[in-house]
Structure 1
Amino acid sequence: MSWRGQWQTASFRGVEFRFRSASAALGRRNVVHSYPGRDDPYVEDMGRKAREFTIEAFVIGAGYIAWRDKLEAACEQPGPGELVHPTRGRMQVAVQDCRPAENIEAGGLASYSLTFIEAGNNLFPTARVDTQSAVSFAADDALAAVQDDFTGAFTVAGFPAFVNVSALSNATAAIESMRLSALSNLPDMGVLSTFTSGIGGLLGAVDTLLGTPSALASRFLSQIGLLNSLFAPHQARQAAFALSGFGSSLLPVPATTPSRIQQGINQSAVVGLVQRAALIEATRAAGQTTFTSRTEAVAVRDQLANALQTQAETAPDTVYFALTDLRVALVRDVGARAANLADLIGYTPTSTQPAIVLAYRLYGDPSRDAEIVARNRVRHPGFVPGGSELEVLA
């Protein structure tokens, strides 16, 4: 097709017109900054300039007056309209200027200089709640409440030596539980050494820290918080949640004397501090986790929300409200981020086949073979076993 054959019939808001020539003004919106004593200016680019189109147009013929009136009415309507540019095609524009001209020597003809400017959408700022940050802030508040509660309950001052020995035993057991939960759930031995070195330092100082409950709580919270600082969110979540089960094997202390009562309070305080801090850090890690399916996200949400509810039911008021706020933040965050994720479903291939073939059959995308292999721990991507149910995204 020739260049002339590619031209379109010009019109605005459905009213056709003829054209003699067309021009445009394009470019960038630059702001030039000049400074005293400096020869070179600085040019600040503010974005693309609004495109402006000028068309030298005309209407002609015995009925040109009615044609002229329609075109002028179209140019005076409010708001943007569709321009069919003779060489650039369809676009939404606003009329910048319309200058008609008629003269007696050219009867039956009205000429126009039409200037249009492209019309974009009026986009307003939209507010979006940062639900992940909300989880982190709620976790900080919950940790502060847990630390204050521990500081107010735990003490060895003024009690017999066996109270101190019992507290030391409980604190040492808690530190060992931190180490074991990390070893069991955090496979990166290079980073794990940083965590275990902190464990060593805490063990060496714990006897001294028993006399200052606030310092002891702070060191415990810092060590548990390292899980989120050093490891991937899903690994930190697993390790912290495992640690939240600490204390189940400790024997209750009989409340027979004031010293025994304080010994029991101290034990409960250490157990509560570790359990709640670990659960709070597990929830923080969930807020940083990138979930791959709605099924996974909902399972993590329910696990942590139920655990937070259980902890809150036995906590004092300040800790109860802090844990409840954290639970609400978690549910909102996971609900918002899981809304657009696919569900996990079961799929059983009828025969052994390469993962790339299976990915094409399921998704129409062979590049998703690694996803199937990783999710189902397939030993070799060339041989996905038939007859065994796989987890795949819907």
Structure 2
Amino acid sequence: MHRLITRWHPFALLALLSLVLLLPAVLGAPLGFDEARFLEDTRALAGGGNEPIATPGAHWLGLIVLWAGGEGVPLWGTRLPDLLCAVLGVLVVHDIGRTVFNKKIALVAGALFAASLALNGIGTRAGAGAPGALAGLALMDLLMRLHLQAKGGAPMALWMAHGFWFVLGAALLTQGLAWPLLGVVFLALMSAERRGLGWLVPLRPFPGVIFLAAVIGPWLAALPEGTLGTALWPPMAGEPALVAPTALLVLWPTVLFAAPALGRLWNERADPANSGLAAWLIGAVGLIALHDTAALAALPGLAPLALASAAALFAVRDGTYERFRHPPALGVYALWGTATGWLIVEAGDRAAWSTEACLAAAATTLAGLYTLILIGRGRYLNATVAALLTALLLRLAP
């Protein structure tokens, strides 16, 4: 791990991993209904359409692509902004891990986040998901820094305080209230713990609210009557690649060590980093109850889960490794193996079980089985690498 960090800059390594995981779908995935509708709205804006769009910020990067490539831009070209936002989102997760833990944990957390099906679902298709996730992750990055500062950590720079209000406006303009609501829950839980709001002063709320109003005010004023609810809570229905049958599939393969990670998060909640991640997770779970799909809460909950899992993998001396063999953890391993088998069969069916598909299925199956074997031998960090290899082989399957 030390050689990996010193010979390769972690940001470059994670960016390369993200591209390898996401590019196959960017180049080869068929056009879906929601993606087609999103691109139609983007082209309407590029053509000078005057009808207000519910979340205009999600279309701005797409407008740049259309203006640069014209109407003849290929489908994969329209997906490049989402790919870029997804890769940057992985780097933001790494930055959060480096801030609250250390470089090794940050690298593993970023890799787990990059390999998830949830990120693959939004980072490989044109839509509001990836830009909204990038803005939301940046928002939570700054809130975690604020939380640590109040607990005696490094002080936030002035530009970070101003940046908070900027990314809050960006999150509202790209995906409505989803990520801002998560931030509100986080602030409420942390304020209840401190029994006061004084720790929010570094955010400079008075000028910040004025700036936020200037950013989103014109957009809200331009919305037609009766569309405010849709704009603030846009529908999130149904690309099959994103809205998986269960949250386990949406969070695959990151959920592999969720049981010991969550147990450690609760037991070590006195630690500022863990209490912040716990508040983040509580807010993400709450989003599931407010929406009819797990997709809306997948990415908000995925980042803290990846960070908690990575921290648990390096927690050798505090008894966490004993939790890796408790019944809840064993149950998750079994479910993970079942989900892996289901994904392999689904990939084979899509390719009509051609020779290439059969070879890819065999290689992915071996990698998945090797992951479970390493878990049985107690080599959990190596098992994480094998799980990432499983995800990579699955993405590269024809």
Structure with greater helix percent = 2
The TM-score with structure 1 as length reference comes to 0.25
Structure showing greater radius of gyration is 1
The structure with higher relative contact order (CA 8 Å, sep 6+) is 2
Structure with greater strand percent = 1
